[in-house]
Amino acid sequence: MKQEKGFILIELIMTIVLVGIIASFTGFFIYSGINGYLRAKEITASALDAQRALDRMSLELRYIDYFTANPALHTSLEYISKDPVLSTGIRRVLFSTSNPNNHMILIGMKDNEQPLLEHVDPGSFNLRVWYKDLDQDGTADDVAYIDVGFNIENISTDFATRIFPRNMVERYIP
């Protein structure tokens, strides 16, 4: 009797099926890893942009001398700054909903604002001015602090800061 060497058809089919199963699991794990990396990269970049926007607003609003805000909407603040680096005139921080696909925070000279942060969640933006009696004159008309908060679309983290303006209370000198 002659002994034959080689694969039979069943062995060949089983090898192809096993290689296919291993390849599909390997492909799934590689896809998951790459997808997770890209998502983490996107979230990190968005968080860095959000922090940069908070730092910029904090820098500008720290030196305000005069401001007007819409207390009902909490979406804009017009101000004049005593910061010598900033240009003189009325400046504004504004939440813009003019583009329904891309809500953004704008900052700059009034009627010439530039985008500071894009893709802000429309229901999350908050810009509130809080008053207190800081100069002990019996009226709560001094700006204690300004709260700014928002979320970025597709990120569940809250971004917020509390800004303490330096020029909003007259110094009491006995």
CA separation for the pair 92, 99 (Å, rounded): 19
**Is the CB of residue 47 less than 8 Å from the CB of residue 160?**
no
Whole-angstrom Cα Rg for the chain: 29
**pLDDT for res 149:** 94
Please determine, for residue 170, whether its predicted confidence score (pLDDT) is greater than 70.
no
Q: How many CB atoms lie within 10 A of CB 125?
A: 23
**pLDDT for res 2:** 64
Please determine, for residue 153, whether its predicted confidence score (pLDDT) is greater than 50.
yes
- Mean pLDDT on 147-169: 87
Domain ranges of the chain: 37-163
Give the residue from 163, 151, 162, 156 showing the smallest Cα distance to 49: 151
CA separation for the pair 58, 52 (Å, rounded): 10
User: Taking the model in full, what pTM does it have?
Assistant: 0.76
Please determine, for residue 173, whether its predicted confidence score (pLDDT) is greater than 50.
no
> Per-residue pLDDT tens for 83-127?
777 767 788 898 988 888 889 999 988 888 899 999 999 889 999
- The secondary structure of the chain in percent helix, strand, coil, rounded to multiples of 5, reads 30, 30, 35
Question: Which range has the worst mean pLDDT, 4-8, 15-19, 75-79, 155-159?
Answer: 4-8
Please determine, for residue 137, whether its predicted confidence score (pLDDT) is greater than 50.
yes
